[in-house]
């Protein structure tokens, strides 16, 4: 039987963390055992109290951080304790649909593929973010998405529509020989680029996505984070795959 390790970073998600974890812990996939690794980064809004209520759940491994260091740091902590042969990264904000798990896992379970991306563009259209309360911010993020996607595709000689999706699913052994250092959302770039450079070319599978705006809790910093993404791109694309 395969084991799926679902890594769930949590920081200040009081509006969604309880229903998200309830949905996750009800998830059952035929022929697959699931462990949920929840990394709580010392939230200030009560999210930690919600997470702590699951500390004795038989399918939960709980990591309590003493301070928030970023999503990437939390995911890296989760990778250190993951025991499954398949890894899936899952946010606690309900933007993605858990019903897509089976479609994402099928190519890996069948042995046809070892790296999957859940593409938010799968349903057509160029705009994956549609903020009714912040249309200008949505437009800027969508435009930036395609600019950065072009950078990824050209620099890696690949064709992807959504390289920055949260839904990155891969065999744990794909990480062999790789080390990571990014702490925020730049970890998505580092993980993707290093896996591709290591020979694991992903396929994209359409997923359902319900974007939330900054007013609803999106944490990306529009002016500061893009700089960290570009730095992560340069280091991951041209630097060593592992630190000595």
What is the spatial distance between Cα 231 and Cα 189, in angstroms, rounded to a whole number?
10
Query: How many helices (H) does the chain have, and how many strands (E)?
Result: 7, 7
pLDDT on residue 134 = 64
User: Could you tell me the pLDDT band of residue 139, with boundaries at 50, 70 and 90?
Assistant: low
User: Which superfamily does 2-238 belong to?
Assistant: Spore Coat Polysaccharide Biosynthesis Protein SpsA; Chain A (3.90.550.10)
pLDDT on residue 213 = 45
User: Could you tell me the pLDDT band of residue 222, with boundaries at 50, 70 and 90?
Assistant: low
pLDDT on residue 224 = 76
Q: What's the N-to-C CA distance of the chain in angstroms?
A: 35
Written as one string, the DSSP assignment of the chain is -EEEEEEEEESS-TTTHHHHHHHHHT--BTTEEEEEEEEE---SSSHHHHHHTTTT-TTEEEEE-SS---HHHHHHHHHHH---SEEEE--SSS-B-GGGHHHHHHHHHTTS-SEEEEETTTTSSS-----SS-HHHHHHHHHHHHHHHHHHHHHHT---S-TT-S-EEEEGGGGTT------STHHHHHHHHHHHHTT---EEEE--B----TTTT----TTTHHHHHHHHHHHHHHS-SS--
Mean pLDDT, rounded, of the chain: 88
pLDDT on residue 138 = 61
Domain boundaries, the chain: 2-238
CA angle centred on 58, ends 99 and 23, rounded to 5° = 25
Indicate whether this model's pTM tops 0.85.
Answer: yes
Q: Considering only 72-76, 94-98, 212-216, which range has the smallest mean pLDDT?
A: 212-216
pLDDT on residue 107 = 97
Strand partners, 36: 6, 60
User: Could you tell me the pLDDT band of residue 127, with boundaries at 50, 70 and 90?
Assistant: very low
pLDDT tens digit string along 151-176?
A: 999 999 999 988 988 899 999 999 99
| Residue 227 in this model has a pLDDT that exceeds 90 | no
């Amino acid at each position: 039987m395969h084991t799926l390790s679902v890594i769930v970073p949590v920081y200040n998600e009081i509006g969604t963390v309880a229903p998200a974890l309830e949905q996750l812990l009800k998830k059952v996939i035929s022929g697959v055992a699931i462990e949920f690794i929840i990394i709580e980064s010392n939230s200030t809004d009560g999210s930690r109290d919600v997470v702590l209520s699951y500390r004795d759940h038989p399918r939960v491994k709980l990591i309590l951080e003493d301070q928030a260091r970023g999503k990437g740091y939390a995911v890296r902590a989760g990778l250190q304790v993951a025991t499954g042969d398949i890894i899936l990264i899952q946010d606690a904000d309900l933007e993605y649909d858990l019903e897509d798990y089976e479609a994402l896992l099928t190519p890996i379970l069948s042995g046809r593929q070892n790296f999957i991306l859940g593409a938010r563009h799968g349903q057509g259209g160029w705009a994956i973010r549609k903020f009714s309360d912040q249309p200008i911010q949505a437009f800027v993020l969508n435009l930036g998405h395609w600019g950065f996607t072009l950078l990824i595709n050209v620099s890696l000689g690949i064709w992807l529509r959504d390289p920055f999706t949260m839904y990155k699913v891969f065999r744990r052994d794909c990480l062999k020989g790789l080390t990571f250092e990014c702490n925020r959302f730049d970890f998505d770039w580092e993980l993707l680029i290093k896996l591709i450079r290591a020979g694991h070319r992903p396929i994209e599978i359409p997923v359902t996505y319900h974007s939330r705006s900054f007013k609803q809790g999106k944490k990306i910093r529009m002016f500061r984070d893009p700089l960290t993404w570009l730095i992560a791109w340069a280091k991951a694309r041209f630097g060593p795959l592992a630190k000595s």
